[in-house]
Structure 1
Amino acid sequence: MMKQNLRQIHPLAWTIIIGTMFGRLVTSMSIPFLSIYLTSVLGATPTQTGITVAVSSLAGVLVSFYGGYISDRIGRRIVMLISVFGWAGVFFGFSAAQHLWVFFLVNTLNGLCRAVFEPTSRALLSDITPPDHKLLVFNLRYAAINLGVVFGPIIGLQLGSAQSTFPFLIAGIVYIAYGLVLFVQFNTHRTSLPARSTAEAPRLRDALATTGRDRVFLPVLVGTTFCVLGYGHFSSTLAQYLTLSPLFSNGGEIFSYMLSLNAVTVLVVQYPLVRTARHLPPLIPLILGNALVALSMLLFGMAGGMALLMVSVVLFTIGEVLLFTMMDMLIDRIAKPEWKGTYFGTIGFNNFGNVMAPVLGGLLLDQLGAGNGLGIFIPLAVTTAFGLPFLLTAHKRLAARERMNPPAATNSFKV
């Protein structure tokens, strides 16, 4: 049965799934080490590094709301090809950069390319996949992401990613190859691509007004922003802390193992966690996820060796899975069918947490020094936990709403 389902997946979908795996492999062997490289090789302060890392997320947040609309209007093909070859150019830019301002500029372009390519590729997967195969295809894509991240950091460590920009050159070559394969596949399967849309551009003011009136959605948006803030410290603040802290002589190596453990843990726990969490009220998994990410921040600050760091990674990852695999299910549940696109577009503004994380972490490292683990990570844990009262409020309001108007059975995901 599974073999038959796999045969029915569109060739272009397989290209995106396999391309995603190799793309994440080369990205995870280079980008996560950027903050280490800027601090230890370029001599940037933690605050300067934090701002340089944060600009990618900021650019992505500002563009992502319109990303899907752009590909609807001018076509998935042209948007994906321009953005994938542009992304290759970004990685070549990283490999050639020697000054902090160049890294800042190139990382801005990195965020723009990612914010356009990723949602467009997901939209194309949805376009070319029959409804009864969509869950399989999106699960394959998510597994491909994590398979790439399992091996990418280890390869990056061997290539000296924390001390060299050479891995970015390899990433650029891989994205050129990905783009060429996409070009061939688009030309081969041109007739099966969706027609361009004539819909008007989404209005940011209308989206914010609509979602802002929702007494459940608004605390969800604020609460998950703090969740994303905590999540964002893993690849920014933690990476710098391990490199600069006198407790760890090989911080870059430890960080690469932590990245791989994070990806392996996602692969192991995702399915059983989602199977269990789907039976809970929809906000409970997010509340538990927020609490686990906040706890892991505290444990990172307490850790003096590998053992507690690795336990903290596992707790962090369980929290991550609860947060990010259940968030789409929650939005699907609370949004009216005619407003789902607006709700899914607006929830992306919680990525401002990813913008704030490197800056906040960098400021704490600058002010307190990397030798003060608890002094740095207690504030990070507390600010992450700020999401809890908002999520609890949303939970109570949603329960009250659904007592008045029980949700339709068709408005929930099947896992």
Structure 2
Amino acid sequence: MKQRLQQIHPLAWTIIVGTMFGRLVTSMSIPFLSIYLVQVLGATPTQTGITVAVSSLAGILISFYGGYISDKIGRKVIMLISVFSWAGVFFGFAAAQELWVFFLVNMLNGICRAVFEPSSRALLSDVTPAKHKLLVFNLRYAAINLGVVFGPIIGLQLGSVQSKFPFIIAGIVYIVYGLVIFLQFTLHRSALPVHTDVTTPRLREALTTTGKDGVFVSVLIGTIFCIMAYGLFDSTLAQYLTMNTHFSNGKQLFSYMLSLNAVTVLVMQYPVVRIARRFSPLVPLILGNALLACSMMLFGLAGGIGLLSFSVVLFTIGEVLLASMMDMLIDRISKPELKGTYFGVIGFNNLGNVIAPVIGGLLLDEFGMQNGPAVFLPLGLIIALGIPFLLIAKKKLAARERDAVQVKEQMDIA
């Protein structure tokens, strides 16, 4: 293992470590945004859901373009512009006083994330040999959750529910992250791969290619329902725990649930990935979808910390199954000259993050904070709708790879 870690490219380490610190400061602030809007600004659950959802909506509208442009003009320019802009977004959160300003700044937050994330993941793929990609993608995922272990607790201590100081810290950290990325690109410019044998298609051609990829489209639709669970956890569950009088200290409880989620990822990731990699990447996605749906239903039935914690653990195992294999799956089915585009277009699955807070907010407004089953049972059933699409993708991927093997055998014979 030590030898494999030493072979990871310095730029890959920069993304992994930067991701850890980025998620640390982000989880100090963003998860508490919905609580802040409700308790401090007096927004309704539906208004809060729309304000939270706009980040993902903006990301959907721009993510494919950010990934494509990174294929076209290079990762460096796109990553630097987006990371420094992202720092400005957090300072914007700190200065915001009105609901419409939070709406606008959160929209910019989604744009920056949607441009930076696919470009950085494509860069990880660029600089990492095939035999180490699963390790690198999962190190990035572990880094995300290592940051989230401590971020919510620190944010709670810094008063994220009523203070915007954590947003200032996040802005400073992203400035430092950008400077380190610039330095690493400068130091390792000559070692970066240059694809001179392929031509990146025009944007319309790139979107047409991904749109005609039956495996990719089925995965995209199926994971929209999976991603809904994330939006419900961060927005609907946060409001439910905070405003439900059955839970005496909902804000603190929610921060502990976030940390439990991250700790469970760190504990479960290695054994889950060891088992999951023995199967087609779509098998873990299907199982993950089922676990996310079940956990959402249990949130509505939980009357105490015991079942609530069990639900979080179940949710987290589903999340690990989904997240640990998603990047490997996209890397496996994408064309080399369109890797950034594929990583960008898969961002359309964040439509789930757009839909979830709005639906969750409407259900909370309709049934109230005290009626968990009426809110969360329907949400769990909606999430489960992703399973049929992922089963279709599994069947199509098996057929595609079987055909590819037959073609190769025929070429070898010829």
* TM-score (structure 1 length as normaliser): 0.88
- How do residues 365-404 of structure 1 correspond to structure 2 at under 5 angstroms? 365-396=364-395
Aligned to 2:412: none
1:316 is matched with which residue? 315
Contact persistence 2:63–2:347 (CA under 8 A) = yes
Structure 1 residues 129-138 or 367-376, which shifts more?
A: 129-138
Amino acid aligned to 2:305: M
1:17 corresponds to: 16
> Does 2:156 align with 1:121?
no
| Match runs of 1:256-267 below 5 Å | 256-267=255-266
The CA distance in 1 between the partners of 2:119 and 2:235, in whole Å, is 26
For residue 79 of structure 2, what is the aligned residue in structure 1?
80
Distance 1:24 1:123, change over 3 A: same
Cα distance change on mapping 1:120 and 1:37 into 2, 3 Å: same
Secondary structure (helix, strand or coil) at the match of 1:248 reads coil
Residues of 1 paired with 2:240 and 2:222: CA distance?
26
Please say if 1:59 is aligned against 2:58.
Answer: yes
Q: 2:38 matched to 1:39? A: yes
**Structure 1 counterpart of 2:411:** none
* Secondary structure, aligned partner of 1:231: helix
Counterpart-to-counterpart distance in 2, 1:252 and 1:72: 42
- For 2:221 and 2:364, the matched residues in 1 are separated by 26
Q: 1:19 to 1:222 in 2, by over 3 A?
A: closer
Q: Give the superposition deviation at 1:333.
A: 5.5
After TM superposition, give the deviation of residue 217 of structure 1 in Å.
4.3
Q: % of aligned pairs identical? A: 74
Q: Assess, with a 3 A threshold, how the Cα gap between structure 1 residues 182 and 286 changes in structure 2: closer, same or farther.
A: closer
Tell me the equivalent position of 1:90: 89
In the alignment, is residue 157 of structure 1 matched against residue 156 of structure 2? yes
Partner of 2:167 in structure 1?
A: 168
| Distance change >3 Å, CA 402–CA 109, structure 1 → 2 | closer
- Matches for 1:208-227 after TM superposition, within 5 Å: 209-227=208-226
Does the 8 Å CA contact 2:67/2:342 hold for their aligned counterparts?
no
Say yes or no: does 1:138 pair with 2:133. Answer: no
Given that 2:219 and 2:390 are in contact with CA atoms closer than 8 Å, whether structure 1 keeps it comes out as yes
Q: TM-score scaled to structure 2, two decimals?
A: 0.88
- Gap regions ≥5 residues in structure 1: 410-415
Aligned letter for 1:312?
S
> What residue is the counterpart of 2:203 in the other structure?
203
**Structure 1 stretch 298-307 or stretch 114-123: which is displaced more?**
114-123
- Preserved CA contact (<8 Å) 1:47 1:362: yes
RMSD of aligned residue pairs (Cα, Å):
2.8
User: For the structure 1 residues 134 and 397, does the alpha-carbon distance in structure 2 shift closer, same or farther, using more than 3 Å as the test?
Assistant: closer
CA distance in 2 between counterparts of 1:336 and 1:80 reads 21
Q: Which residue of 2 aligns with 1:307?
A: 306
Counterpart of 1:360 in structure 2 is: 359
- Residue 148 (structure 1) shift: 0.6
CA distance in 1, matches of 2:35, 2:43: 10
Structure 1 SS opposite 2:233: coil
* SS of 1:236 mapped into structure 2: helix
Q: Which amino acid aligns with 1:84?
A: V
Question: Residues 206-246 of structure 1, C-alpha deviation per residue, up to 9 Å, x if partnerless?
Answer: 45554555554444332221111223211111111111111
1:85, 1:16 → 2: CA distance? 15
Given that 1:69 and 1:201 are in contact with CA atoms closer than 8 Å, whether structure 2 keeps it comes out as: no
Give the letter for the 1:203 counterpart.
L
Partners in 2 of 1:13 and 1:79 — Cα distance? Answer: 16
Question: 1:202 and 1:27, CA in 2 relative to 1: closer, same or farther beyond 3 A?
Answer: farther
Counterparts in 2 of 1:193-342, with a 5 A limit? 193=192, 199-200=199-200, 202-204=202-204, 206=205, 209-331=208-330
The amino acid that maps onto 2:70 is S
Which has the larger displacement, 174-183 or 39-48? 174-183
What corresponds to 1:412 in structure 2? Answer: none
Change (3 A) 1:322 1:373: same
